[in-house]
Structures are given as C-alpha cells and as structure tokens.
Amino acid sequence: MQGTVRKRQFSPGMQASLFQSRFFFPHRHGAADGDAPVKKSHFHLDLWFYFTVQNWVLDFGRPVAMIILPLEWFPLNKPSVGDYFHMAYNVITPFLLLKLIERSPKTLPRAAVYICIITFVMGASIHLVGDSVNHRLILSGYQLHLSVRENPIIKNLKPEALIDSFELLYYYDENLGHSMWYIPFYLIFFLYFTGCFTPIKEDNKMPLSAWLLLGPSGLYYWYLVTEGQIFILYIFTFFAMMAIVMHQKRKGLVLDSNGLFLFYSFSITLALIAVWVVWLWNDKILRKKYPGVMYVPEPWAFYSLHIKSTQLVKEGI
C-alpha cells in the first residue's frame, strides 16, 4: 500500500550496542565522519583548570594538610585529613579523565580506556592504604631519606619478622601502587594526545588562560615524577609524544591548543627535573637511598633530611 512507512527493526543486541555507543561516547567520530569538515578546536579551560586545582589540593595537599593540622583532630588509629583528600582524588580524577577522553576529536579504543581507568582506581586505592600508614610512621619519627631497615623506629621492632611486613607495606605503597596508578594515568594522557592534531594552522596556538595554567601544571608534574619515582615512565611518554609530533608534522598536521598545553607542561617538567637533580647531585645521604644512574630524589625525602631534621635540632629534640 502506498504511503505506508515501514519502521526499521533492531534486534536486542543491536539496540544495546547503539545505547552503549551513544551513552558512553556521545561525541565519537567514526569513519563516516571522514568527509565532514574539520572543526576548529577549542581549549578545554574547564577540564585543565579542574585537573590543576584538584592535583594541587587533593594530591600535593594531602601530606601538607597532615603536617599543618593538629594531630588531636585525627588520631593515629583513624583516617586522617590526607586520607579523605585521597578518597576524593580517587573519585574525581577518573571522572575528569573520562571527560577528557570524551572530548577527544579522535575515536580512541574503548577497551583500553576502560582498563586504564579500572587499573588507575585500583592502584590509587592501594596507594591510599600504604600512604596512610606511611604518614603515620612519619609522625612517629620515621625518616623518609632512609630505607625501611635503616630507620631507627623500625630497627628495634621485635620480632624482627615485623620488619618484613613493613617492607611489604613499602612495596605496595611505592612500587605496586605507583605502577598501577601512574602507568594508566600517563597512558590515557598519551592516547588523548594522539588525537590533538589539526590541519588548521590557526589552532596551533594557546589562549592566555592556557599560558596562565602552564606553570602550575608543569610544576605539579615535576612533583608527580619525582615523588612517585616514575622518571622512566615519564621520559618514555614524553619521547613518544615527540615522535608523534614529528610523524604528524610530515602529514601537514599541527598540535591544537590542548596538545600544545600538554606538550609544554611536560617540557617544563623535564627542565625542572634537570634543575632538581643538578642541585642535589652531590648529596651523599640522598645518593645512598637513590643509587644508580637514575638519580631523582623525592621531595619529601629532601624535606625529611634537610628541613624537618633542622627543625628538630633547633627545638632540641
């Protein structure tokens, strides 16, 4: 019969697939978009601002808040203010990473993104527990510039098997936790970076807001690399970013404002790390804790050795 409109039928599986693609990636660009005109990119001021603020407050601010606030407010057998900061970080950061991936102009592998986010949350949660106990040890006299077995408060533990338990705690905190936290974190940034290229030359510049955020962002990543002891992961990521830039340049593509912001932030981080290492190059005590070619001391170990120890001497403790 003329005028009859046939409705297109979808199987339950097809309907579920369509729902997932629209719900999780509403701004996806597939192969069908290849003929669409290239849109001018915009700097994600909101996301980069949220990243910068929450990184400084919830990550760097954790140990600072624990040092400043009175111990009576947060007993040693209860969660500290730093723990609550860490819990908030573990919720907010994955959300921001997902929003960043959502805004990528390039279709990114969904499975890789999900695995990265899941692993990130697991690693950050492991670190939450280890870091919580570790900071309580600091309040009890633990010295970060010494190894676990060299610390005075650990040496006298009885039975000696307890020392092995504290070394296991250190492994979960500084090795396993950091690896599961930072590897997916940098991988997501790298995946996003691969989509930050455009043929529009006018997009190859940053707005004033990006320049204002550049210093705090680069300084935070310096803290992240040095305190997290992830220089190798960072430098490989940075070299991979440089290789992508050179490869895309041959195709006539340039970085947009968001890609430039990431690239410049990591460049500032590298310069700050170089200055940090040169400054502490001849520190014999830190050299003993960080032997080998990759000598990148932790800022809190420097604080424990050169600032806190000086304060204790002045106070006569």
Give the pLDDT of residue 148: 82
Position 16 in a domain: no
Give the pLDDT of residue 313: 47
Residue that terminates a domain, selected from 195, 227, 261? 195
Position 35 in a domain: no
Coil vs helix vs strand at 76: coil
Position 207 in a domain: yes
Give the pLDDT of residue 239: 96
Contact 43, 209 (CB under 8 A): yes
Residues 55 and 174 in one domain: yes
Give the pLDDT of residue 24: 43
Q: Does the pTM exceed 0.85?
A: no
Radius of gyration of the chain (CA): 24
Give the pLDDT of residue 21: 45
CA atoms of 179 and 234, how far apart (whole Å): 12
Give the pLDDT of residue 29: 41
Give the pLDDT of residue 316: 52
* Domain encompassing residue 261: 198-299
Position 5 in a domain: no
User: How many domains does one find in the chain?
Assistant: 2
Give the pLDDT of residue 243: 96
Position 141 in a domain: yes
Give the pLDDT of residue 28: 43
Residues 205 and 294 in one domain: yes
CA atoms of 200 and 247, how far apart (whole Å): 17
CB atoms within 10 A of CB 283: 18
| Preceding amide of 159 cis, omega within 30 | yes
Position 2 in a domain: no
Cα angle vertex 137, ends 134, 139, to 5°? 120
Position 237 in a domain: yes
Residues 177 and 220 in one domain: no
Give the pLDDT of residue 233: 95
Residues 202 and 189 in one domain: no
Please state at what angle helix 231-250 crosses helix 177-193, rounded to 10 degrees: 10
pLDDT along the chain (317 residues), means of 10: 47 49 43 43 91 93 83 80 91 94 86 93 90 77 78 79 83 86 94 91 85 96 93 96 94 93 97 95 88 86 78 52
Residues 188 and 276 in one domain: no
Position 308 in a domain: no
Cα Dmax for the chain: 99
